[in-house]
Amino acid sequence: MNNKLIKYLRSDHAGEIGAVYIYIGILKTSSCPKVIEFAKKHLLTEKKHLKEIERLLPSKDRSKLLFIWKLSGLVLGAVCGRIGPKWVYHSIEKVETFVEAHYQEQIDYLSKEEQSYLEVLTTIKKCQADEIDHKTEASELQQSNEKTFSLNCWLWLINWGSKQAVEMAKIF
């Protein structure tokens, strides 16, 4: 496996750990039955993704910052879960929009590698499809597209933090 692919998979592994902890955070703080059902369902999918990425990426190549990815996911989930369903669904939509683009970058790269990494490509495409489903479901569950200033700031922070996390995970 080449260095660029290892960096991609390391960032995927970090992201899937973060995703698992986002849903754990939501489940620890939300009292809304629909949100709890949503989070439980998506937590199972994210755990499957994590296992798939762990199968592809040797433990020696994984991020050394696992505590940070767990904590940041937990905080993101806990904050939006505590505030309410609107924040949960908008936050998940924002995260998944970022993840969709991140996976697409990898799909584009892997598609040029011919058959060398077919298993990785297939896995990334499957994960991306699931993340798009999560994004779509979160979007459909939103009561309103109207966003407050604080929610817009929060969504900006999620997007910015996701970009920083990917870059850090590629290095550490």
Residue 75's pLDDT is what?
98
C-alpha 136: how far from chain center: 14
For residue 144, which amino acid is it?
S
Per-residue pLDDT tens over the stretch 48-97: 999 999 999 999 999 999 999 999 999 999 999 999 999 999 999 999 99
Question: Could you tell me if 11 and 62 are in contact, meaning their C-beta atoms sit under 8 angstroms apart?
Answer: no
Per-residue pLDDT tens over the stretch 3-56: 999 999 999 999 999 999 999 999 999 999 999 999 999 999 999 999 999 999
% the chain with pLDDT above 90? 92
Q: Give per-residue burial for 140-149: e unless 16+ CB within 10 Å, then b.
A: ebbeeeeeee
Is the sign of the CA dihedral 56, 171, 98, 46 positive or negative?
positive
